[in-house]
Structure 1
Amino acid sequence: MKQYLELLKNEYVLRRLSTIQLISYFGAWFSNVAIYTLLIEMNVSAGVIALVAALHFLPGVLQAPLSGTLIDRLDPKKLMLTLLSIEIISTLSLLLVTDVSLLWLLYIIIFIRMGAASFYFTAEMSLLPRILKHDVLKQANEIHSIIWSFSYTVGMAVSGFVVFALGVKTAFILDALLFFTGFLLLFNVQIEVIVTKSNESLIKMMRKTFTYLKENRHVLHLMLVHSLVGLTSFDAIVALMVDKYYSAVIATALALGLMHSSRAVGLVFGPMFLGKWINDKRLFYLFIFQGSALLIWSYVMEYFYLSLLASVLVGFFTTTLWSYSYTLIQHKTDKEYYGRIVAYNDMIFLTVASITSLLTGELAKIGVPLQSIIIYMAVAFFMSSLYYFWIYKKYMKE
């Protein structure tokens, strides 16, 4: 923890960006819990819940070819301010969704909102290698993931109580206010980055990216490895678990908040214990540990309090899997391709997350037990460990 605080102390821009992350991520969970609470109260089908979960990821998939190219050409601060503005407006627009007949509007708003959020994230992650030295980039990614996890933990827990006590609309308003605070903080920070002026067309820049990946296949393989962490897209399955097993035990909003926040406890503390231990070779074992944790969760998921404990273990390995695999991509990518490679990486990651959410809903609709769905995820992580082992042997082992 000491090294993280020291890095934040020495890097002003990183410190300000991290503060904005904490505020905006914290607020995002208010509307997230509110959305799923609203859906369950509307008594929608498992397919609708899965679709909404998938819509949180789909915009990042569709816009990646364009967003990555724009990030390599535009001023990062102006771009990020514009995206925060879109998030504020779209979050307030959620107040318009009042009954099941307006589900179509909810889909559109979520698509726009998450498109801006995904674009912002890609812009920020491509900015970090430009302002930080390589030897601290891994720590910066870990700080980012710890902040995400901490805000997830506290945000989900608090938002569950806020939605329960004050209602869905209040949660949306609070979320928008926190995004606005983030906007003001970003507006007042100076980010000194040289933006390379290019006369190449967007199409030509996209083509060059594909050529780059073809000539640097190890980067593509690492992108695929990182995307497999998207299998931990649990929003849909947690909502289905709450609806099936826990709604008779505890209020829906509270159950959603506690389930997500308990996993986030593991997400916060995982990198604090694993950060110094992890290296290129040991990443193989993390995939195995993640799969094993999922098997334990599947065994106890019917029991609310045991499920809470198991979800802590599930989250313990996820953050380090995400941050370290992301760092490998940043280290192996040439500077002029940062924006495009990060965008395509996020596209693949979000595709896996979106497919995971949709498959969860479809499997549940045809009667596949939720325990079996989690077991399938566990098996996928075991297979992922073998894939990474092959990459390590072929491209990374000295």
Structure 2
Amino acid sequence: MQEKSITSHTYNKLKAGFISLRSPNFRKFFIGQTTSFIGSWIQNIAMGWLVYRLTGSIALLGVVSFSSQIPSLLVTPFAGVYADKLNRKKVMLITQTVMMSNALLFAILTLTNTITVWFIILLSVINGIIVAFDTPFRHSILSDLLEQKEHLSNAVALNSIMVNTSRLVGPAIAGFLIAQFGEGICFLINSLSFLGIIISLLTLKIEIKPNKNNNFSPKAILNELTDGIRYARSNAGFKKIFLIVFLSSLLCLPIQSFMPAYAKDIFHGNSETLGVFSGMFGLGALIGAIILGQISNPLKLVKMIGIAGIMLSGGIILFSNSSLLYVAYLALAIAGFGMINQFASSNTIIQVFAKSEYRGRMVSLYNVSFLGLTPIGSLILGFAAQHIGLKTTMTISCIIFMGVSISFLFRHKFVKHKIQYQ
């Protein structure tokens, strides 16, 4: 009898981890995004491999990463203001269609053997601008999709599961496709995958609440952005969360840009090795996201940010200094687990505890910290790696971040108090 009770409790707890999928709108969006994100990861892996195959330069890997992600630093803060003012569904239909067209152009140029590294940089910048504008809308629309707003924390966690399931599946598919058919087919598949999210958006039934503030003058937009930054800075808890996300993006996340160099030069592998590396990183992230989905109290996630930062930096240090493939796989899984727990915990806390009228701008500031600093880190660490070596560069940067994470862990009670009683 007791055994039945334990089994029933476990089942109910697992079921509760997917509770936000009861909302039809969120369920459609979840499925559409999953399809699209798998395609995006297939393209990301193919892009890195193509650049390194054409140039053999670690620095250029950093340049391409910089060109695709630097728009997040420049565009996303303003996009966050618009995400609080515009129809999120209509804007996303436009951005997803443009990204689909961009991927198709990548495919045509690659399949016709007319692609060059300069074309890659140019198209990466264009795609980066659209992604930067789309991101605050994609994150802030989650609350519009739920029938019960208290399920937002679970929706954010499930969104992380979706992203990291895609991170696990996409690279594995990409590694096989590159080896068998080349990079061009990967870009074509990504273009077609956008149909998933576009169809899901077209079928969403969302109640559109007209925004009272329709002033779109440059001065008004700048004032609202400044107001959002002022709100984020006014709370010491939010400030510390933004800081650790900022430093993690700068010092640790560039590892993803350098995976082709690790796979080819350090572990003497091929595109399939690269796919497995990214897949193991994604596997760790997926496990972390599933565990995160079981935590119903978002305040418990504050401590997780510090612990996860230690795991992320420690996993990358182990990976960079390992010579055995199976140790490298384990290290990447640990790093992926730490990465998703840190970023998803931060994102959940910001969305749950930020005032609703500031949510779009807070999400955009989070994404600037998360995505906007990674390209700068990739550029700086990429050029450093050309002079002192990739292993040494990543080890030093991650040791610095581990110290930051330990400091945050000791201060997590202070952070929890500040975000709760703002």
Residue 226 in structure 1 maps to residue 238 in structure 2: no
**Correspondence for 1:59:** 71
User: Structure 1 residue aligned with 2:372, among 351, 357, 381?
Assistant: 351
Q: CA RMSD in A?
A: 2.4
Q: CA deviation at 1:100?
A: 8.9
Could you tell me how far apart the structure 2 residues matched to 1:149 and 1:68 are?
Answer: 24
Question: 1:296 maps to which residue?
Answer: 318
C-alpha contact 1:227 1:348 (8 A) present in aligned 2:
yes
Q: 2: CA distance between counterparts of 1:122 and 1:373?
A: 30
Partner of 1:390: 411
Q: Secondary structure at the match of 2:206?
A: coil
CA drift of 1:266 comes to 0.7
Query: Cα offset for 1:160?
Result: 0.8
Is the 8 Å Cα contact of residues 70 and 376 (structure 2) preserved in structure 1? no
For 2:187 and 2:366, how far apart are their aligned partners in 1?
Answer: 30
Residue in structure 2 matched with residue 127 of structure 1 by the alignment: 141
Match of 1:82 in 2: 94
Q: Is contact 1:269-1:316 (8 Å) kept?
A: yes
Distance apart, 1:158 and its partner CA: 0.8
Contact map agreement 2:280 2:330 (CA 8 A) in 1: yes
Contact 2:76 2:132 in 1 (8 A): no
* Unpaired stretches in structure 1, ≥5 consecutive residues: none
146-155 or 111-120, which deviates more: 111-120
CA positional deviation for 1:395: 5.8
- TM alignment of 1:312-351, pairs within 5 A: 312-351=333-372
Alignment of structure 1 residues 4-43 onto 2, 5 Å = 4-8=17-21, 10-43=22-55
The CA deviation string for residues 318-375 of structure 1, in whole angstroms up to 9 with x for no partner, is 2121111111111221111111121122112223312221122111111234145234
Question: What is the letter of the counterpart of residue 286 of structure 1?
Answer: A
Structure 2 match to 1:113: 127
Cα 1:106–1:6, aligned 2, differ >3 Å: closer, same or farther? Answer: same
Deviates more, 1:70-79 or 1:218-227: 218-227
Q: Which residue in 1 is equivalent to 2:283? A: 265
8 Å Cα contact 1:131/1:193 also seen in 2: no
User: Which residue of 2 is the match for residue 3 of structure 1?
Assistant: 16
User: Shift of residue 18 of structure 1?
Assistant: 1.0
What amino acid does structure 1 have at the position aligned with 2:195?
A: F
Indicate the residue corresponding to 1:286 in structure 2. Answer: 308
CA apart distance, 1:198: 0.9
Which residue does 1:189 correspond to in 2?
204
Does structure 1 retain, via aligned residues, the 8 Å contact 2:281–2:336?
Answer: yes
Does 32-41 or 228-237 show the bigger shift? 228-237
- Bigger shift: residues 74-83 or 319-328: 319-328
Q: Distance in 2 between matches of 1:308 and 1:100?
A: 35
Identity level (%):
22
SS of the equivalent of 2:85 reads coil
Q: CA deviation at 1:275?
A: 4.6
- State the partner residue of 2:58: 46
Counterpart residue number, 2:9: none
Q: Distance in 2 between matches of 1:198 and 1:26?
A: 37
Report what 2:262 is aligned to.
241
Matches within 5 A, 1:160-171: 160-171=175-186
| Deviation readout 1:202-236 (Å, 9 max, x if unpaired) | 22322322332343343333222333442333222
1:33/1:163 contact within 8 Å kept: no
Pick the aligned partner of 1:204 from 223, 226, 229.
223
- Please give the TM-score of this superposition, normalised by the length of structure 1: 0.90
CA apart distance, 1:387 = 3.4
Distance in 2 (CA, whole Å) between partners of 1:120 and 1:84 is 8
Distance 1:269 1:123, change over 3 A: same
Partners in 2 of 1:92 and 1:145 — Cα distance?
27
1:310 equivalent in structure 2: 331
**Mapped contact 1:54–1:354 kept (Cα < 8 A):** yes
Q: Which stretch has the larger CA shift, 144-153 or 34-43?
A: 34-43
Which segment drifts farther, 68-77 or 315-324?
315-324
CA deviation after TM superposition for structure 1 residue 385, in Å: 3.2
Matching residue of 1:215: 234
1:98-109 → structure 2 map (5 Å cutoff)? 102-109=116-123
Q: 1:33: Cα distance to partner?
A: 1.8
Counterpart position of 1:175: 190
Structure 2 unaligned segments of length 5 or more: list them.
Answer: 1-13
What residue identity is the alignment partner of 2:15? K
> Any idea what the Cα deviations from partners look like across 1:148-188, whole Å, max 9, x if unmatched?
11111111001110111112111111110111232122112
User: In the aligned structure 1, how far is the partner of 2:234 from the partner of 2:41?
Assistant: 40
Shift of 1:240: 1.7
| Distance in 1 (alpha carbons) for counterparts of 2:83 and 2:304 | 33
1:155 matched to 2:170? The reply is yes
Question: For the residues of structure 2 that align with 1:272 and 1:184, how far apart are their CA atoms?
Answer: 27
Contact 2:73 2:373 in 1 (8 A): no
Take 1:194 and 1:135, find their aligned partners in 2: how far apart are those partners?
Answer: 19
Change (3 A) 1:214 1:371: closer
SS at match of 1:234: helix
1:211, 1:289 → 2: CA distance?
32
Match of residue 383 from structure 2: 362
**C-alpha displacement at 1:56, in angstroms?**
3.0
